[in-house]
Amino acid sequence: MSTIKIGALVDGRYRIEARIGHGGMAEVYEATDIINKRKVAIKMIREDVMKNPINLRRFQNEATIASSLNHPNIVKVFNHGTIEGRPYIANEYVRGQNMKDMLDFRTSIPIAEAVSYMLQLTSALFYAHQHNIIHRDIKPQNIYVMPDGTIKLGDFGIAQAGGVDDSFTKTSEIVGSVHYLAPEISQGKPASIQSDIYAAGVTFYELLTGHVPFDKDTPVNVAVAHIKERFPPVKKYVPNCPKEIEKIIANATRKRLGDRYKGADEFYDDLLEISKRPDLLKEKKPLLARIFGFK
């Protein structure tokens, strides 16, 4: 069975309404939970992907780790199980687009809006870290933006829980997305709270500028740049970026672990301070733009 039929009932409670997505790992369906009378998203591992035991473990890893979390800015997992031998996850139905698609459309995000998203992201991260869970794949593709401005962090496929057997990621393969990988991860060191913070810092940079900090021709060159090259200033793309914002990004993306924010709560607190200062969040237009009225 490669796809589920529309109208089918999964596990006696989820009526499949429509196929809404198809990713590298899974098919996603809109469904109605006939017991709780709510809309859910059913994520089912693809048959071809399931043949690789590492993929199967990652999918099951996501189901068990994410289902233990309950935070307004994390995609809620209601249930998980198998249907005809294929694992599925019943998620909260997220009405929104991922942040990467939003960025592709809008190119960059105004400071006040970006700060609002980052406050929510760092709140979600602090909560996950308090529950001994490291996400390990923070990037705009894994963050969903609702029409009301709420964000939801999803995709815990390569997340790591304290005390969990993590042998399936202890291979020579470095997991995560190279543009967001902390320098120590590329050097083969273990993931930590601070590697999530680094990736969140890169995400903040990308929201404001529309660019990743290091866009090289090969993944290896990107990783080397994260290790060796100076992190580019936001001002390169946003000339009027307040120095307080630059400082937050710098504190999140320091090369050395010891120089970075110790926890997502520190990152959150600095964002909160800035959010209380409307003078910093207003988009400042260059002098010529103010005189002649162009952007």
How many helices, marked H, and strands, marked E, lie in the chain?
11, 11
Task: Give catalytic residues, as residue numbers.
Answer: 137
DSSP letter string over 164-208? Answer: S--GGG-SSSPPS-GGG--HHHHTTPPP-HHHHHHHHHHHHHHHH
Distance CA 142, CA 138 (A): 7
On whether the CB atoms of residues 39 and 30 are closer than 8 A, the answer is: yes
Distances (CA, A) of 188 to 106, 145, 182, 185, 200: 35, 32, 10, 5, 20
- Rounded CA separation 228/255 (Å): 8
Q: Is residue 35 classed exposed, middle or buried when 0-12, 13-18 and 19+ CB atoms within 10 A define those classes?
A: exposed
The SS3 call for residue 20 is strand
